Chain A
Amino acid sequence: MPGMLDVTRETGWVGRAIERVEDAALLSGGGRYLDDLGVRPGTLHMAILRAPHAHADIRAIDTAAARAVAGVVAVLTGADVARLTAPLVVGVKAPVECWPMAVDRVRYVGEPVALVVAQDRYLAEDALDLIEVSYETRPAVVDPLDALAEGAPLLHDGFPRNLASDRRFRYGDPEQAFAQADRTVSISVSYPRNSCTPIETYGLVAEYDPHEDAYDVLANFQGPFSIHAVISRALKVPGNRLRLRTPRDSGGSFGVKQGIFPYIVLGAVAARATGHPVKWIEDRLEHLMASVSATNRATTLRAAVTADGRVTALDYDQVEDCGAHLRAPEPATLYRMHGNLTGAYAIANVAVRNRVVVTNKCPTGLNRGFGGPQVYFALERLMQRIAIELGLDPLEVIRRNLIPADAFPYRTAPGALLDSGNYQATLAKGVAEGGLAALRARRDAARAEGRLYGIGFAAVVEPSVSNMGYIATVLTPAERRKAGPKNGAQATATVAIDPVGAVSVHVASVPQGQGHRTVLAQVVADVLGLTPRDIRVNAEMDTAKDAWSIASGNYSSRFAAAVAGAAKIAADRIAQRLARIAAAQLNVPVEEVVFEGGKLRARSNAANALAFSRVAALSHWSPAQLPEGTAPTIRETAFWTPPELTAADEADHINSSLCHGFIFDYCGIEIDRDTAEIRIDRYVTAHDCGTILHPGMVDGQIRGGFAHALGAALLEEFAYGPDGSFLTGTLADYLVPTAMEVPEPVILHTETPSPFTPLGAKGVGEGNCMSTPACLANAVADALGVADLRLPLSPSSLAPLIHGAEPAAPAGIAAPTPAPSGGKGERLMRGEGKAHVRAAPEAIWAMLLDPDTLAAIIPGAHGVSRVSDTAFRADVTLGIGPVKGRYKAEVSLSDLEPPRAVTLRGRVEGNLGFGGGSGAITLTPDDTGGTHLAYRYEAFVGGKVASVGGRLLDGAAKVIIGQFFAALARKAAGGSAPAPSLLSRILAPLTSLFRRRAP
């Protein structure tokens, strides 16, 4: 800061891995997470009914039965919400509306359709079951490239061909570079959907004051607080009538809790409609299915290369899948990396086509890495392909293209200003200290034994401190001119001194477990010559009282670089004034004042000293004694935004982030030839994140990011059926790494301070999410000698690469049926079985056509009514795993050959899912007056049942159908049908297997 005193520091807390001030409470059950805080008396609880279909029109919603339940206070539908709110802002210029609750039409499984507010959460969830929604399904589209195809189902009329944005960019002269290139190397990749899934789910408590028309919301939101404007606009109040607060502790976010904002709108509306505070805690199924997801992306990337492996141009074709709605700040995932599309390399010519499409999947939003994993998976896989196609060493190709160490600050072709770095030095340190030579020897030895061993590399630039203006790059320069310039990254911090000279720090950083309070205490303690214990940091956020701006919050790894820097600036300003006050009393020039050991003293005479608290308290007790021209030291708020973060220019150059760390990763992996399991032999990650403020936390961020990336690379994917059914609704289906899968990476550091940040620090929290998936995939490609890889690298996806396609069945043995799918791709099951019943076929025939008998033998049936001679209707309560609910069933009989054969077809539909099927039954008399009964069925299921019970369904089908016939047999033999066993109750939804929708 020009004009700033260089206050001499003789202590050094910054840079030390001190114990965190946060931890004692968190380790003793004293955390203050949202759901730990208690609520005002009279607070009601919200539960949300969600769409079982990926794409359907809502024909009717009947909430009468739900409203009638004792304890239920309100039931709201999309129409109610739309009456009280305005649509959520959409990030592109298009005539589309985005609501937090479906209005007329659902576009993804899990989209909110109605909400219940009741006296407790249990009652609210009960009442969801009683809401009847009538849907008319539409065809769904799941894949982003399919969504662009001619004739694909359209999600929004305002997005023709499902295309929300289509922009082309050109930097340098890519056409000429490609024309002159020795070779062109290209790669096409599909980056899958995943999420960092914090262990604490979304939660909020909302209140409404009708007299002031003001909302007060406590939520585990994480920022950016630009979203505050989106929420207040949706609630149709000015920003000063939306007080948004965050609790002290948050159970992780990784970007994900940005996505709570549509639910803040719902909670606020529920509070307004009921006149009570309303609390909502999301459950895990809701979180996995419908909170938010990273984008999946289809990328084709071409490189123009010289014969010696120099890349002279890149040509990106990126198709970004933002799910069913383009929610703020999307399509930011696509543009966060825009300045960094050349990665760590000096590549002067770049062509880009960026398309944003909508599909019938959960809307996307912030997620650790945010666009980086998608870009680097393409770029770093391509670098390996270049080496292979040119017959070069992959590491050598990386080396030859790195930005020269003397070129910083370096402007990339698309406009990023890379602040500092020495990529060659970091790489050299990684190679030497990480033990690459030994790893290569291990690979040679393993391969000599015929084992599948590979080494992969990745070199990435990790951007941090986002330019709030990068998102505007999705707009054309003309549209940007109209919208007005957007840029910067305002960070704020306040340092306050109380009447006894005790120091507090307030920041709008919304920590989610990173330890901000500890680091801020270190930073401020250093400035003021105190210890971290002397500093009390409050990182709770309150938009009604705190200094904040649109960039506030916890994202884009901005804490160390921006927020801690702002705290240093605020502390420096206070220190400057304290030094003036002390100088007058110590009779020394102000430059001679030293802050040390809780004292302000003369540099040359330690005995000439004043207690810090005495100087610090002066502004409270005796402001008249302040030296002339010295402002009080009671409170200082610093706003800091880096001048480097300018708006996109007319040629679409954008400095999308302020800081740029560098990561060089490599790893050795072995793939088991039999099981196709990947074992990580060694993973080396060499970082340069500028000045390290707290080594323990920096390594913690690296390890945590590495674990997330390992999950994304090997295990995690939000899986959807072709019909848009969501298939990974539990943590037993959506697999995240456990302690068994995550090895300790070898972490190495070089420190090249950023010249653009007050402390020289850069972000470090997201880099491995960018580098590690590509690095692991490159190692797998090296081990298997394959070019095309899709994440996650599960054993089932690698097995065909090792063993080839499944060979034909040996002669005489039936080939296994390939996993079947329903007409629209639902989960489909087939089976058959036999039973013997001690009754004549005629008696059984009569039973099958008798509603009372059916009611007695179908588990969970509340009653079966006859619609016609061959059609029945039933209400059934079915439970599978954690999903229990009521369904309506319609059954018809056809192909009747009394008393020999009949086909039952039917369909069940409920809020938890839908299903259907057909069962062909044949009755053959035996010699003893009994009947041999044979059946063959086909069934499909979709909706919530499919997303949480998928693994159980096939085996369960066999059991439940056997039980149905066992009950039939007992009934036929004269006994009453037994109560269903526990197992049958768990598996009961499979009674739906007897019913099938007419084809």
Chain B
Amino acid sequence: MSSLIATASAAEQQQTHQTTCCYCGVGCGVTATIENNAVVAVKGRDDHPANFGRLCVKGSSLHQTQHSPDRLLKPRLHGNDVSWDEALDYSAKKFNDIIAEHGPDAVAFYLSGQLLTEDYYIANKLIKGFIGTANVDTNSRLCMASAVVAHKRAFGNDAVPGCYEDLEKTDVLILVGSNAAYAHPVTFQRIVKAKQERPQMKVVVLDPRRTPTCDIADIHIPLAPGSDAYFFNGLLSYLASHNHLDQNYIEQFTEGFEAALEIAQTQSGSVQAVAQVCDVAAPLIEQVFALFAKNEKVVTVFSQGINQSSSGVDKGNAIINCHLATGKIGKEGATPFSITGQPNAMGGREVGGLANQLAAHMGFDKQDDIDRVANFWQATNMAQKEGLKAVDMFKAVDEGKIKAIWIMATNPVVSMPDADFVKRALEKCDLVMVSEAIADTDTAKTADVLLPATTWSEKHGTVTNSERCISLQKGFLPPPGEAKHDWDIMAIFARKMGFSEGFNYVHQAEIFREHAALSALDNPRARAFDISAMADISNDQYDALEPIQWPVTAQEPKGTKRLFSDGYYFTPSSKAKFIAITARLPVQPPKSDEVIMNTGRIRDQWHTMSRTGTSANLLSHTEEPYIDIHPDDAKRLALAENELVELSNRGARYLGRVKINTAQRIGEVFAPMHWNNKYAASSRADALVNPFTDPICGQPEFKHSPVKIRPHATTWTGFLVTTKDLQPACDYWAKMTSDIGYRYRLAGVDVVDYSTWLKQQYPEVTDWQELTDSEQQHYRAAGYCNNALVVVFNAEQGKAMPQEGRWLDKQLGGELDDVTRYAILAGNEGNGGADDGAIICSCYQIGENVIKEAIVAGCHSAQALGETLKCGTNCGSCIPELNALIQQIEASV
């Protein structure tokens, strides 16, 4: 009976919840299984329109990244644990003091696409409506800002016309600057499936790299970095000269075509001209132009390769121009499609969480909009102009113009261009507030006030994905420690600043209803973003919100798949606008001794790894920072596979392993953007990125940084397998997580005495096991605390990487017998771990266990043992022991 009861209660403890993944802009629905207050399993939600049951490797590991040992659990003020009141009283007073003395533009918020729409809404309302500055920007600036402005210029509003289904239903899918296979894996899988079902569907990839996305491409255009606008200007010229324009559409629904075409023809009037700038064979380009021209259903997906550029807005418009000129927009399988990076970049845009937006698709360019929002909020100090965008914001921090900054849910010390500059700027800022789930991110280390925030599975609110689909990210676990929701932290802070009205929410749904009501003000047909039909949803309806694509209005209560199908745009003339694009190459061409560094994602990591880095599974795919480099460049620079290489720019260095890869163009290298000071010594690729930005939207040029390159001056290499999370004092290290502890690969430039070096890293260890070599070719050591293994260190002279066995990982923390202690330094288990036993015959080194086996096998005298094993046949001193063993075994038989 009792066992039955136990089973029943266990089943009761297990619950499932529908939620949304917290990683990329695909926005997959997730079914999470909870047991004993922990997520024990996740699977793709079958009925979610973004993924229909699929999940990528990051999403599938969500439950493995739930228990970070580095979770921030209490507020900290200058490094000391304090109460919420203490932390926020201090911060609010400091904010007020700074504003009183220097004005509201001396403070700023820096937000994140990880925040939920409700968080974003409160941040935006507080700083723009009450503090009185628009100095609020977000890491979406690094990701989406170009597309946002391109949309606004062409459509009058920031609105993605199409939906994921269009990617499946199209006949020609052009992916530009998008490694969807890694960055949007579930969307990519949908494309793969669509192409399998309709092999006639053509896939074209425009990317300087032959990425894994090219695996399904019919045509790969390995164009020169940054030459995209020349390509699409060329396409526009081609469409005109080959009579593939949709004159009706152009006349009825657009304006500005002639000017756009004229510049396009001037710059890219022929396929040859395009081929030259793009550095791609003309026939290949013409093939793609013809595909675009001759098919009705064409989708152009563009992502960071377009956005992260000093001319990203123009590139976006060059693409949109081609779709407008052929009427390939607002129809099934025909649309330009900007795919976002972050889970809620779109939600942030909806509430206006960027310095150059207001709220609900309103802007600072219209006084009516400013007043409308001010009235709605009953704002006490409404901002009247745009604020500083990300790069300029940190510049203002550095110059002392901004004296207080509150960073939420993001890690700009790693992710911003010229990230070392950002770090220095923050270090001298009067007040740095950081809201974080993880205690020791590179940015958290710069915080005066560190506030514990909830994270995925605890946070409750909405996110919007790349196809305008609003989904609930559900909170089903209680916040750990003293962690609070971001919106709640800001609301308390607002009240402490003295804003008693306007921030008294008790449920997220109240915020959402307010947001929906604002979207409805003086709409419809004024602004694309309209969720007026949701302004009155109940708390219960909100808590059970099903995915829905905006606009959600009385006319379209179930949401809207496609925008602009009727040719109505949200511009003053209600017509879409062609933008005349003068294509530009990246700001700084490489010098003769430089290569172009491109940055991007790897498959299994998310952003700066603060969550995905804690999963041993996710880190095992790509364990160390690396660069991809063409074989010819590797040869020219005498770089060998797996050797460490050093990229440098602006006084910053990126160290990574060489991966020789024909997918790279000559003269260009690729470096992943994820690594940071928590996971590697000197591998923050973004620290090398020049702070060149798009003049219109302020998005940085992440994809094109001329850098110096040389082999790393490695003199020794090694590894640490350890229970301790440390920053080893050597020129290069990279950290990997294992189930028990960490693995570090190391490389040193300075010759060190390994033993001394190691003991400096581990002053707490006194029980050492060591292997030394007078020539310093080899060194191995293991350290124990209370008999438990805490560290294994191997070092070798030279560049060859010693191989650390995974077996070592599992020995950490254990108490080890003598044989295993040997094995630890050997680095492997040995041949099955057979133990000969204590030596009985010293002369021939015959062990007790071997002798016992021989006795059991039939050696019944010392002489017989001697004939079989040689034991006792030299000095004979072991013969009494041999006889004793024989007696012992025969007695026991």
* A, B co-complexed: no
Chain B residues close to A by CB (< 8 Å)? none
